[in-house]
Chains A and B, each alone.
Chain A
Amino acid sequence: MSMHFVKAGLQTSIQDLGRQGLMHLGISNSGAMDTNAMKLANWLVDKPIDSAVIEVTLVGPKIRFEKPMTIAICGAQFDLYLNNNMVFNDENIQVKKNDVLEFDRLQQGARAYIAFSGDLQLRPLLGSCSTHLTAKFGGFNNRQVNNNDRLAISSTALSPDKKIPTKNEIIYSGKYLLRCTRSVESDRFGQQQSEQFYSQRYQVTPECNRMGIKLSGKPIEFEEQLEITSCGLTQGSIQIPPSGQPIVSSVDGQTIGGYPRIANVISADLPVLGQLKAGDLLNFTLVTQSFAEKMLIEVQEFQKKMMS
């Protein structure tokens, strides 16, 4: 045994890049919500960037290490203590046997990712080690981590010290502009409804999880309900249910939806959804398809350059 969760935290789970090719069975992608942070953490500990990591949500765990290993934490910033000494995000940390890592106050963002040298002793299920929290399968024992769980990690190879350059550190301000392209029912919304959606500022509600993120703002009003037939729902879809308050779907979301979609967050911005928490402020802006494609290439090239 090698990682003992003295305290589990609010919602701590094993995630990788998730499962593809199963949506026709109703199985959504699952996987890390902030894939950028997940990849960086793996890079810091010299692992393939798609390796399984520990996703920490809002309230972090307290972990006692039963083996020496190298770890790295990226994404949301917590006050982090290793045996009561402060340690930091975005650089690798060498831990010794019996060291205790504690996540204290959350400073920025919502989800942090812990990568570690050595391999998790987990058998992939349907092609992935991700925990599908809605359907309760995969990951560690088909569930999130509980108090006193122990995660087995093989090999104790250590990785040399490595750091993300300060200029590339990400700041989660709690105010975000999400870029969107059009979705299936976009043209069913009138000009006034679209203008309202793109001009107003939304607040993230406490109903914000791996399935979806509910927002609150001035409700979008319908003269009559838009009747639509259920069809394939993708990550980042912004549905407008009868309440008029948007729901942004995420990694564990349903694969078929029945509410009209006004827009869809671009692929390059999807990792931001993983850092949203209640009270955060959002604006949306409509961009072209070619801009969305360009942004994704930019993100990919930036990552390639930094992680080379």
Chain B
Amino acid sequence: MNDSKNDSLSFRIVDNGDSALTVIFNQTPSEFLTRKIRSLQQLIRDHFHNIVHDIIPAYQSITILFNLSAISKSNLKEKLSDILNKPIEPSNYQSKLLEIPVCYESKYALDLAALATHCNMTVQQVIEVHTSQTYLVHMLGFLPGFLYLGGLSAQLHCPRKINPATRIPAGSVGIGGEQTGIYPVDSPGGWHIIGRTPLPMFDPTKNNPAIASPLDKIKFISIGQSEFLELQKRHKETNR
């Protein structure tokens, strides 16, 4: 990180409709890039306080939604380039490590056996590999509170289902392509479901409705069904 070349990023700014711009970085996703993007997010927020209403960070990009009656797009593009051409310090955000209990028993893991077969592994091996990694939260999106995680072992990569399930219950843990993640709310989906967490992933009544933010780390902990039911009961009671 002392390398001065790393201080400015190679980027391009592209149109995302008439009232948004997307900055795409010419770098592969990494924690370092996610730290730069987090700093940039803060810089943009500070600079364009009343002009930009939403900022969506992603693996290699940041999308800026602005109020079209407050600034012209060409003007915003220029000002953005100025910010991007100066060195951006990677964010020094202190990552939190969150342990997420997951029950991998077949009742909650409809696709685990099939995924194990596809990966030439036993069910137990899949669970061991899935729980041995520490995953990085790159960004949130897709559904409210959904975490985009980096770090899934290549051993567990598996193409998405051809026919998506119509309803996957909230808390389901899945694998799709090169990604693993947790469905925060009931939703249709094409990922292979390998377990379920009793932890609520999204609570709109809280000040921070999501359980983690970009740069936090996630570890999955295997639990049995009785512990799952116990935790589920406890979370329902505290929410009442």
Contacts and interface: CB of A to CB of B under 8 A. Distances in A.
Contacts of B116: none
B141 A254 contact: yes
B197 interface: no
Contacts of A300: 69
A23 B15 contact: no
A234 B63 contact: yes
Contacts of A231: 22, 24, 56, 58-61, 63
B226 to A, nearest CB: 28
Nearest to B143: A26
Contact of B204 (A125, A264, A266): A125
Taking each of A135, A182, A236, A296, which has the highest tally of chain B beta carbons within 10 Å of its own beta carbon?
Answer: A135
Interface string A277-305: 00000000000010011001100100000
B145 interface: yes
Contacts of A135: 143-144, 184-185, 202, 204
Contacts, number: 144
B23 to A, nearest CB: 10
B56 A24 contact: yes
A181 B16 CA distance: 8
Given A21-B53, A27-B209, A232-B56, A137 B204 contact: yes
Interface string B3-26: 000000000001111111010100
Nearest to A268: B18
B186 interface: yes
Given A135-B144, A255-B141, A181 B55 contact: no
Contact of A21 (B16, B54, B205, B210): B54
B112 interface: no
A47 to B, nearest CB: 22
Nearest to B19: A267
Interface in A159-189: 181-184, 186
B164 to A, nearest CB: 12
Contacts of B16: 183-184, 232, 234, 237, 261, 264
B133 interface: no
Contacts of A183: 15-17
Contacts of A265: 17
B19 A254 contact: no
A138 B204 contact: yes
A186 B15 CA distance: 9
B54 A25 contact: no
Contact of B187 (A125, A132, A134, A184): A134
A254 to B, nearest CB: 5
A97 interface: no
B20 A234 contact: yes
Nearest to A291: B18
Interface string B181-197: 00011110000000000
Contact of B63 (A26, A232, A266, A296): A232
A234 B140 CA distance: 15
A245 to B, nearest CB: 16
Q: Which of B54, B57, B139, B205 is packed against the most chain A CB atoms within 10 Å?
A: B54
13 contacts: A22-B54, A24-B41, A24-B57, A26-B146, A135-B204, A137-B144, A183-B17, A184-B14, A184-B22, A229-B61, A234-B19, A293-B68, A296-B18
Interface of A: 20-27, 125-126, 132, 134-138, 181-184, 186, 229-237, 254-256, 261, 264-267, 289, 292-293, 296-297, 300
Interface of B: 14-20, 22, 24, 29, 41, 53-63, 65, 68-69, 72-74, 139-146, 148, 184-187, 202, 204-205, 209-210
